[in-house]
Structure 1
Amino acid sequence: MLPSFLDQIRISLASERLTLVRLRGGLRPRVAAKQIIECPAPAGDAPWRAALEALACALSQAEWQRAEARVVLSSGLVRYGLVPWSGALHSPQEQEALVRHSFAKVYGDRVTQWTMRWSTAGKGAPSMTCAVDKGLLDGLRALAKPARLRLQSVQPYLMAAFNQWRRQLKGQTAWFALAERDRLCLALLHHGQWQHIRSRSLAGGLDAQLPILLEQAHAMTELPASGNVYLHAPEHPAPRFPADSPWSLHTLAWPARRGLLPMQDGAYAMAMSGDH
């Protein structure tokens, strides 16, 4: 039997959780199945291995087979960076060499085991770069084939979520804040160009942590310590900044889907963010 390409499976992987959603239908797909599997990563092991093993078990079940699939990766499984524009680059191979060198300066020889990707920036603009363990990508491809899944894409949560809201940030100088259950990623755009990115563990509520992390991240820029913050945090209550805060907070509401409600199903937002 051929895969049913009217069915879509959305998958998200984090260091301690696997999420799956099966969509069925055409123009207005509905949720046919959904599942969250908690899978804490053993100390000292690759942070993605437990989630990948949980995915292998899930894909042995018929409800997660024979479909098109998109995978979204937690910021905890991705390394981000910015590479300055260079007019001396003339091929993708030269661009990759520059990206790999920039990561090697921070992470050393580990970069030989990573797959690199980068955005195409305009003249003079830095490129957003990311790196993912080859073992994770190879594992996803290996699991897709026996489950009769056609793997359409594997992308970082930051990129998938930002692409949903990029029209609202177009041309602005603003922070895009992406909060997962236990991680926060902050990215600064200045006139539509990436200027700064930071990802770290999130301990405590967003009310207390987000202003602190914004202040710390801002200290590494040359822009005024104020401005707009666009927050995508479907697993957290909407935070409130103090009345005298220099930041203007805009909470991005995760849209409802047939079978998923924002107030109840925020844990599925990462998996669904690849669907835009």
Structure 2
Amino acid sequence: MHAIPLTPRRVLAALVTVAVLVPLAACGSGGSGGGGGAGEGGKTELTVLGAASLTDVFQKAGKAYEKEHPDTKVKFSFAGSQALAAQVEQGVPADVLATADTATMGGLKGETGKPTVIARNRLVIATEEGNPKHVERLEDLADSKLKVVLAAPEVPVGRYGKQVLDAQKLKVEPVSEEPNVRAVLSKVELGEADAGLVYKTDAATAPKKVDAIDIPDSQNAIASYPAATLKQSQHQKEAAAFVKWLSTPQAQKVLRGAGFQRP
């Protein structure tokens, strides 16, 4: 048997797989979501795989959903969309998937129900609070003296960022490429980078730690967030109800409050 060479992409895939498996395994108190069985008090337990940029808003949405549906318990596992897709392909027990782009969801047609776009987002330039390097526009990111951090090109926000920079013919050499948008934001928050490209909603979660520099619509990219049930789910009815709920006025109010745009 010949050994399979460890390319950088395979190493990254292995790392993100472990990163998602650990928190997902920790979700199983009283039930296993997509693996069947009931949660606490006989409630149906749904496991939702969500893009990292949905972390804060989905936690709020989950509480609102549980209040309206007292027989359902919603648990989440967040990571970069590409990592979540890998978990779906490997059969990790889950019921619903929500990604930060339609391309990743589209690559899982055989694994999901029909996707529904529940929200949209845009990119901003995140800088340290007070913007000490005086970053004002995309062109500034090409300054070799500036420490810029981006998401890896396999990640939706990294792909959107590349699209935006390429359209302006800007060559940016990042000091690191991160596995998800929250990791990019963290680098800027900690002062390990002067600037980074993140979603507008992520920058809004750290108003006292970072500044958000708007990118003109003519230079920006629109991120679409589709959600879908997973065919492997053993709670198809409940999973479909949750996906449908994400488009209701109640759920959309939560998403709008976090800065997400209408679908």
Which protein has the bigger strand share? 1
Q: TM-score, normalized by length of structure 2? A: 0.29
Name the structure, 1 or 2, with higher relative contact order (CA <8 Å, separation 6+). Answer: 2
